[in-house]
Amino acid sequence: MSFGAPLELYWEDMIPKDYVASDIPLAHSNSMQQQNLDAPIVPELNGKLVKIPGFVVPLEGDNEKITEFLLVPYFGACVHVPPPPPNQIVYVKFSKDVSINNLYDAVWVTGTLSTSTWQGDLATVGYTLQGLNIDVYD
C-alpha cells in the first residue's frame, strides 16, 4: 500500500504541552475506573496521517483477524489495569480485517487521526483513527 509519509506520533505528543494531569489519591489507584476523563486532546492532530506505536485491545474480530480495536500505550490497559486518560487511547477502525499475530506484541498503526471522541464499554477515548496499515513494532 502506498501513501505519503505519515507523521510519527508518540503518546506524549497526544497531550497538550501545557496540560498537567490531576493527582489521583492512592486509595483510588486500584479501581478499574478510568481517571482524568477531562484530559484534553491536541486539536492540531485532527486529519493528520500518522503512525503510532502501541498495544491492541480487540473490540471486533477474533484472535487472528480484527477490524476494530483500542490502541493503548502499554500492555494490559483497559483489561488488566484501569484505562489511561482518554487522550492516551485511540479507537482504531479498519475497513477490512487485519491480521494480528500476537496481542502481547507492540504494533505500529498507520492511518488518519481524528479528534473525535468515542465511548465504549471499556473506556472513553479521545482520538479515533481510520486504519490503513498495521505492522509489528521493531
Cβ-count burial of 44 within 10 angstroms (0-12 exposed, 13-18 middle, 19+ buried)? exposed
In this prediction, residue 129 carries a pLDDT of 97
| Residue 81: count of CB within 10 angstroms of its CB | 14
In this prediction, residue 34 carries a pLDDT of 85
Chain segment 106-130, per-residue pLDDT in tens: 999 999 999 999 999 889 999 999 9
Q: Are 127 and 113 in contact (CB under 8 A)?
A: yes
Chain segment 18-76, per-residue pLDDT in tens: 887 766 554 445 567 888 888 899 999 999 999 999 999 999 877 678 999 999 999 88
Query: What is the model's pTM?
Result: 0.87
* Rounded Cα distance, 126 and 118, in Å: 7
* Rounded Cα distance, 138 and 126, in Å: 26
Residue spans per domain, the chain? 7-16+46-136
Q: Mean pLDDT lowest for which of 45-49, 90-94, 100-104? A: 100-104
Q: For the domain 7-16+46-136, what is the CATH superfamily, name and number?
A: Protein of unknown function (DUF3299) (2.40.50.870)
* Rounded Cα distance, 22 and 8, in Å: 27
